[in-house]
Chain A
Amino acid sequence: MAANSGPLLAVEHLTMRFGGLIAIGDLSFTANHGEITSIIGPNGAGKTTVFNCITGFYKPSSGRILLAPDGPADAGEVAQLTRSARRWMKASNGSLFLLERMPDFEIAAKAKVARTFQNIRLFPGMTALENLVVAQHNALMRASGWTVLGMAGTRGYRTAEARTLDLAKYWLEKVDLIDRADDPAGDLPYGAQRRLEIARAMCTEPKLLCLDEPAAGLNPKESSDLKSLLRSIKTEHKTSILLIEHDMSVVMEISDHVVVLDYGEKISDGPSDAVRNDPKVIAAYLGIEDEEIEQAEAEITR
């Protein structure tokens, strides 16, 4: 899948208004198959709003969010789908999804877009293992014949449940929480909760993983572990990642592609090196340039 050309996610002319406030104004960007795409920007730039639009928690005011998980989308078919009232279609090159038309749970279940939250949202009263089992709800629900076969305890359901546990165990090992599998998620330390939330999102077997500030509050060791985890998700699991992050060491090191937002608009877009040296980005982060500061100071003292 990594060999696919063409974007996995294409956000086009996305606008999100809250009353008179324009949180995102005419934003367009793409995220490619098998890449880590980062969205950065100062506080209040609209990054989480973009996430909420992509994952269906907000209905965008206008714009199109196209997900083509199986390969490059054919422009004609995309136009056809957009004209129709449908939310997705089976195209010649796999399925196409118009995320702005889909409710949140359907985006996760059908379009296979998983997400984590800026303020961790685990199920604190359930164990780490249970958290990962709940994440596989839809697969297990089908296997349990919408509960009928499950009540009967058929072999099909039991094997499906065993598979569920295997996947959960795999991810617990991967995020180094296997020893705490039977501990309630609410009892885990902060960094472990962050890792568990990523593992839980991965248990839905997503095509696109959206991470909202996964490195927030982590110490340097945990940050570097996170980097290798994200790299392995990208390469071993062929899951593309959309990342919101303030920790520039994480962003610059692992991103294939960086999109910079400020006041709801895109101010820069490209590989991490190019973005890092973009004067507009520097201005957005540091305010104004040094000479201007000197000028301003001179004016004040005068």
Chain B
Amino acid sequence: MPGEGERRLTFAAAVKDAAGTGLLALGLCIPIIAYRTHQDMSNRLVLQERWQFVAFAVLAAFAARLVYLLAPSIALKPAPRLRMGGESGAAVTVFKLVGLVLLFAYPFLTIAMVGPAGAIKWVDNFAIQILIYVMLGWGLNIVVGLAGLLDLGYVAFYAIGAYAFALLSTHYDLGFWVCLPLAGILAAFWGILLGFPVLRLRGDYLAIVTLAFGEIIRLVAINWVDLTRGYAGISGVPRATFFGLPFDDSEEGFAAFFGLEFASIHRTVFLFYVILMMVLVTNWVTLKLRRLPVGRAWEALREDEVACRALGINTTNTKLSAFSLGAMFGGFAGAFYVTSRGQGFVTPESFTFAESALILAIVVLGGLGSQAGVVVAALVLIGGTELLRELDWLKRIFGAEFQPTQYRLLLFGLAMVLVMIWRPRGLISHRMPTVHLRQRRAVRGDLVGEGHG
């Protein structure tokens, strides 16, 4: 980092450096962006030049590098430590309360702002989707963040929950509220089943086996056609009802019962509250468990497994409990997914490795073991990419062919890189102790273990 005296000297150097960056960007952009091929009417391949995009990219790289070099005060260095003193405790509580009230009022706020038809998108695509990922993130957070076991196949439990729900409700005609816990229990059972063979494995080996498990579940779903109907998927899963009242325009429907005019937003708002309650219960259970011996054992396991065994902690049971509990929350989320976003339809395509990676990214980006971090990361990664769909005005700058959603993964990668530079241990890396004598002070992220699997 240049000192005060050096700063003027470095201006020319900074421009030079930035020019170098621009040149590098130019070199990269020529093969990637400058030419584009497409077929014309008579099926000929036509080369299209897009130098304006290259110029934009190079300028952007130059400007970004220059700003970065000339602003050492905001230079990329680890962010200052968060201080969580006693006096901020009240502020945090107020903040949480306001957040909770806003969350509960959210569907009505959006309806008030954009009307019932427009609000479906904002409640379903945004809120419900984000909340599903928050739930998945919190479930995986138990395994990866608290117990320190790297699980790359978490989507398997999501899939098991979804398929369990779909199969139970279509074959046995069971309702939403019966199938939901059953799906969670089945997923937890599979969590234990996976747990047994991988108990001896650590780190990379554990990651590989869990990755394989995720793939196995998906391949079984594809190939066990008799049960799962393969790629065709299971359709016609009964939709969620309001404790027996279907959301339709019939006489016995929800709208008729409450004397409302039928609108499809009713179901969406109801589902929003269902997932919100599920998420809040997940959070409550996790926070409670953290303060119980089992939760402390998870964290101790992440810190040092050998020391755990020397203290008489049965690490086998501890790992299994983390696996099964994480799996259970994944199963709940899967079951909920089928009735809400899945529109009563499950296919193996929804449960690819990319999904596991996304959930893991939410946990890692948020900060291992941090409940609030998962929420922020899910907001950024899921909400952010959904927001890209709203950026149609960019077409006026880049032309009608420009599709902002295609840049989803690019932004995703950029967010990852930035967070890893600024906050290598995740957005919220510090850890709050579960018990204290005099003052509850956060533990710095760099002291907290990451687990060895």
Asked if chains A and B come from one complex, the reply is: yes
Q: Determine if B311 and A137 form an interchain contact, defined as CB atoms under 8 angstroms apart.
A: yes
Q: Tell me the residues in window 126-170 of chain A with beta carbons closer than 8 Å to chain B beta carbons.
A: 126-127, 129-130, 133-135, 137-138, 140-141, 144, 146-147, 150-151, 165, 169
Q: Determine if A137 and B312 form an interchain contact, defined as CB atoms under 8 angstroms apart.
A: yes
B170 within 8 A of A: no
Q: Which residues from chain A contact B245 at a C-beta distance below 8 Å?
A: none
Q: Determine if A105 and B447 form an interchain contact, defined as CB atoms under 8 angstroms apart.
A: no
Q: Determine if A181 and B438 form an interchain contact, defined as CB atoms under 8 angstroms apart.
A: yes
Chain A interface: which of B90-98, B150-158, B290-298, B358-366? B290-298
Q: What's the least CB distance linking B438 to chain A, in Å?
A: 6
Interface centre among B285, B294, B321, B433 (most CB of A within 10 A): B433
Q: Which residues from chain A contact B289 at a C-beta distance below 8 Å?
A: 147, 151
Q: Which residues from chain B contact A178 at a C-beta distance below 8 Å?
A: 437
- Whether A125 touches B306, Cβ cut-off 8 Å, given contacts A105-B312, A105-B314, is no
Q: Tell me the residues in window 406-453 of chain B with beta carbons closer than 8 Å to chain A beta carbons.
A: 431, 433-441, 443-444, 447-449
Q: Determine if B435 and A150 form an interchain contact, defined as CB atoms under 8 angstroms apart.
A: no
Bound Cα distance from A198 to B328, whole angstroms: 38
Q: Which residues from chain B contact A201 at a C-beta distance below 8 Å?
A: 310-311
- Whether A186 touches B310, Cβ cut-off 8 Å, given contacts A121-B304, A126-B433, A129-B433, is no
Q: Determine if B297 and A137 form an interchain contact, defined as CB atoms under 8 angstroms apart.
A: yes
Q: Determine if A121 and B310 form an interchain contact, defined as CB atoms under 8 angstroms apart.
A: yes
Q: Determine if B299 and A181 form an interchain contact, defined as CB atoms under 8 angstroms apart.
A: no
Q: Determine if A182 and B436 form an interchain contact, defined as CB atoms under 8 angstroms apart.
A: yes
Bound Cα distance from A230 to B274, whole angstroms: 58
Q: Which residues from chain B contact A126 at a C-beta distance below 8 Å?
A: 296, 299-300, 303, 433, 443
Q: What's the least CB distance linking A37 to chain B, in Å?
A: 19
Bound Cα distance from A129 to B441, whole angstroms: 12
Q: What's the least CB distance linking B188 to chain A, in Å?
A: 14
Q: Determine if B435 and A129 form an interchain contact, defined as CB atoms under 8 angstroms apart.
A: yes
- Size range of the chain B interface in the assembly: 35 or more
Interface centre among B296, B302, B434, B441 (most CB of A within 10 A): B296
Bound Cα distance from A286 to B379, whole angstroms: 67
Residue of A nearest to B305 (CB): A121
How many contacts A-B (CB < 8 Å)?
139
Q: Determine if B448 and A169 form an interchain contact, defined as CB atoms under 8 angstroms apart.
A: no
Q: Determine if B310 and A182 form an interchain contact, defined as CB atoms under 8 angstroms apart.
A: no
Bound Cα distance from A150 to B291, whole angstroms: 9
Contact of A121 among B285, B293, B296, B307 (CB under 8 A): B307
Q: Determine if A117 and B449 form an interchain contact, defined as CB atoms under 8 angstroms apart.
A: no
A194 within 8 A of B: no
A55 within 8 A of B: yes
Q: Which residues from chain B contact A147 at a C-beta distance below 8 Å?
A: 289, 292-294, 321
Q: Determine if B296 and A186 form an interchain contact, defined as CB atoms under 8 angstroms apart.
A: no
Q: Determine if B443 and A108 form an interchain contact, defined as CB atoms under 8 angstroms apart.
A: no
B309 within 8 A of A: yes
Contact of B313 among A57, A127, A137, A200 (CB under 8 A): A137
A261 within 8 A of B: no
Q: What's the least CB distance linking B245 to chain A, in Å?
A: 32
Q: Which residues from chain B contact A140 at a C-beta distance below 8 Å?
A: 293
Q: What's the least CB distance linking B86 to chain A, in Å?
A: 12
Q: What's the least CB distance linking B81 to chain A, in Å?
A: 13
Q: What's the least CB distance linking A157 to chain B, in Å?
A: 8
Q: Determine if A181 and B437 form an interchain contact, defined as CB atoms under 8 angstroms apart.
A: yes
A115 within 8 A of B: yes
**Contact residues of A with B, CB < 8 Å?**
55, 57, 104-110, 114-115, 117, 121-127, 129-130, 133-135, 137-138, 140-141, 144, 146-147, 150-151, 165, 169, 172, 178, 181-184, 186-187, 200-201, 204
**Contact residues of B with A, CB < 8 Å?**
285, 288-289, 292-294, 296-297, 299-300, 302-304, 306-315, 321, 431, 433-441, 443-444, 447-449
A57-B310, A133-B435, A181-B438 known; 18 new pairs, CB 8 Å cut-off, are A105-B314, A108-B309, A109-B313, A121-B304, A123-B299, A123-B307, A133-B296, A133-B434, A134-B308, A137-B296, A137-B300, A137-B313, A138-B312, A141-B297, A165-B435, A172-B437, A182-B440, A184-B443
Can you list 17 A-B pairs with a CB-CB distance of less than 8 A? A104-B309, A105-B311, A105-B314, A106-B312, A108-B309, A108-B312, A110-B312, A123-B300, A123-B449, A124-B448, A125-B302, A127-B436, A129-B435, A137-B297, A138-B312, A150-B293, A182-B440
